Structure formats: C-alpha cells, structure tokens
Amino acid sequence: MTGSSTTPQLDTDATGTVSVALADLPTEVLDSLARHARTLWDGLGCRSAARIDFMVTSDGQVYALEVNTTPGMSRESNYVTGAALCGLSHTDVFRAFLHEVLTRPAYDVPLPIRVLNTSASVRETAA
C-alpha cells in the first residue's frame, strides 16, 4: 500500500537545475516521517515555521538531517515549493505565517526541554 502523493522529492542534476517530483512512499514511512517531525518540532520548541529535512533509505528507514528554524521564503525555496505541492500559494504561506506570529501568545515560559540529564530547565540553569 502506498501513501500520500504530496511528499516532495527534490533532485539537482549536473547543471544545477532543481526538479521536483512527488515521492510515492508507503503509509508506514509517511507515518514515521510525521512522528519524527512532531517530536522534533515539540522537542525543540519550534513555532511559526520550520523545515525539517529527512533522508529515507531504500528500506524505509527515516533519518532526520537538520531542522531549519528560519526556512527560505523566496518563491523558489524548498519551503515554499513544498507548500505549493500542498496547494498553497506563496502569498498563502506568508499570510499563514504572519497570522500565526501576530496572534500567538508571548513566549515567556521556560523551554520544554531539560539540560543534559538534570531536572533543571534551561532557564533555571542559565539563571
């Protein structure tokens, strides 16, 4: 059984031209990607926008490569290209981003992580 056809697959050829195609991934891989993305998003305290880059092996193993907390917002950026594959325009992306930023509560609480293996939060440790 295959999963959603909305997962972008980017490739650069020898001329530097980037092509975008939809990856036909099994449902289990899509579920694993979603779980990993949510865990990273929540664990790092991400807000507003981030692009999380993954590598998926031929046998379906998922590896997180990096989290871009300030993803590119140009019309040609991976973030905007991915949104376009989901039916969102460049303007839609900016409107959603601005709406979230302007309506969210202030972020004046400790980060949702622990420092190393202690019970002190980052803010308590820094104080």
In whole angstroms, what is the distance from residue 83 CA to residue 110 CA? 31
In whole angstroms, what is the distance from residue 30 CA to residue 3 CA? 7
- Give the pLDDT score at 17: 65
Q: Could you report the per-residue pLDDT of 53-98, keeping only the tens digit for each? A: 999 999 999 999 999 998 888 888 888 988 898 899 999 999 998 9
Q: Could you report the per-residue pLDDT of 30-56, keeping only the tens digit for each? A: 999 999 999 999 999 898 899 999 999
SS3 62: strand
String of DSSP letters for 28-47: HHHHHHHHHHHHHHHHTT--
So where are the chain's domains?
A: 7-126
- Give the pLDDT score at 47: 85
Pairing status of strand 62-68 against strand 51-56:
antiparallel
pTM of the model: 0.64
In whole angstroms, what is the distance from residue 55 CA to residue 13 CA? 18
Burial class (CB in 10 A: 0-12, 13-18, 19+), 25: buried
Q: Which CATH superfamily is domain 7-126 in?
A: ATP-grasp fold, B domain (3.30.470.20)
